[in-house]
Structure 1
Amino acid sequence: MRERPSSRLLIVDPDDRLLLFKFVHLAGALKGQQFWATPGGGVDPGESYAAAACREMFEETGIRISDPGPEIAQRSVTFTLVDGEEVSSDERYFLVRVAHPDLSSVNWTELERAAIAAQHWWRRAELTATGETVYPEDIVEMLARAGVW
């Protein structure tokens, strides 16, 4: 199984709301699955987790940052990619505070455009109460441990 290190972004706005993307898979190995997850993605060869976080921040939100902030969590998880490949991922979570909730999808890949159906800024109570699938499953606890919520 291929190792796929990744940087995940816990993006929080001035109102302490967390940005999540809703992924809805209409085709491929994940057809029929839908869930909310953090922005972020794989670390490129030779790239650090922090550099990947900065790159992913720009690609997925349009916001340029030179420092992704503190790495507040790490998890190891196995999952299936859209193309059906099963990977083992060492995920690092960075807390990024933004000055405003304005986002751009202009740099999204075709794959992201096909899978991301919505974006939403979540309050703690709303996220705690949702019945929808959210990854990582302990995201509320991650943010509580970091002092955000």
Structure 2
Amino acid sequence: MSSTTQKRLRRSARLIVLAPGDDGAPKVLMFRYDIPGRAPFWVTAGGECEEGESFEDAARRELFEETGITADPGEQIARTTPEFVTPEGEPVRADERYFIVRVAEARIDTSRHTELEQAWMNEHRWFALHELDDWHEALYPETLRGLIEEHAE
């Protein structure tokens, strides 16, 4: 790819799903991606907007598809614009919008995952906030703990 080639803009909605931990502090849902040839990494729920879909509508759809949770994601709390290579191998410029969803219990349903999600998203877990500081694998967004602490009230 030459330096003059434009990367595709990938619009996506990301969900910071919070549940109360045993100590009352929030814990956050993360999915582990294990893609052949790449180091494993963890991300929040969410994904790419469909053609003509708003970030808010994508947030609702992705939340249900990836977790089985039906909820209003509320207002956008953050935006990031990273450049990365998708699991399919496409370099993109991302426009990622973040939403916080609070749930009463840490139970999710992954039965609606696509075939690719089933292949790559082979694990999920609820992280205590302190675990985000020095986890042994990459966590995205890297500013997740700060976003939660700033907006979780």
TM value normalised by structure 2: 0.88
Q: Distance in 1 between matches of 2:95 and 2:44?
A: 15
Are residue 109 (structure 1) and residue 114 (structure 2) matched? yes
Question: Which 4+ residue blocks in structure 1 deviate beyond 4 angstroms?
Answer: none
**CA deviation after TM superposition for structure 1 residue 101, in Å:** 1.0
Are residue 85 (structure 1) and residue 90 (structure 2) matched? yes
Please show how residues 44-83 of structure 1 align to structure 2 within 5 Å. 44-65=50-71, 67-83=72-88
One-letter amino acid of the counterpart of residue 44, structure 2? T
One-letter amino acid of the counterpart of residue 12, structure 2? S
Q: Alpha-carbon deviations, 1:11-61, whole Å to 9, x = none?
A: 0012310000111112xxxx2321011010001111110000000000000
Partner of 1:24: 34
Match of 1:133 among 132, 135, 138: 138
Q: Distance in 2 between matches of 1:135 and 1:84?
A: 18
**CA deviation after TM superposition for structure 1 residue 124, in Å:** 1.0
Q: Distance in 1 between matches of 2:120 and 2:43?
A: 12
Give the number of equivalent residue pairs: 143
RMSD across aligned positions (CA): 1.2
Question: Which residues of structure 2 form unaligned runs of 5+?
Answer: 1-6
Q: Distance in 1 between matches of 2:45 and 2:152?
A: 20
Q: Distance in 2 between matches of 1:122 and 1:70?
A: 23
One-letter amino acid of the counterpart of residue 55, structure 1? R
Q: Distance in 2 between matches of 1:79 and 1:58?
A: 25
Question: Which residues of structure 1 form unaligned runs of 5+?
Answer: none
SS of equivalent to 2:133? helix
**CA deviation after TM superposition for structure 1 residue 131, in Å:** 2.7
Q: Distance in 1 between matches of 2:48 and 2:9?
A: 10
Q: Distance in 2 between matches of 1:126 and 1:81?
A: 25
Partner of 2:148: 143
Partner of 1:33: 39
Are residue 2 (structure 1) and residue 8 (structure 2) matched? yes
Partner of 2:49: 43
**CA deviation after TM superposition for structure 1 residue 91, in Å:** 0.3
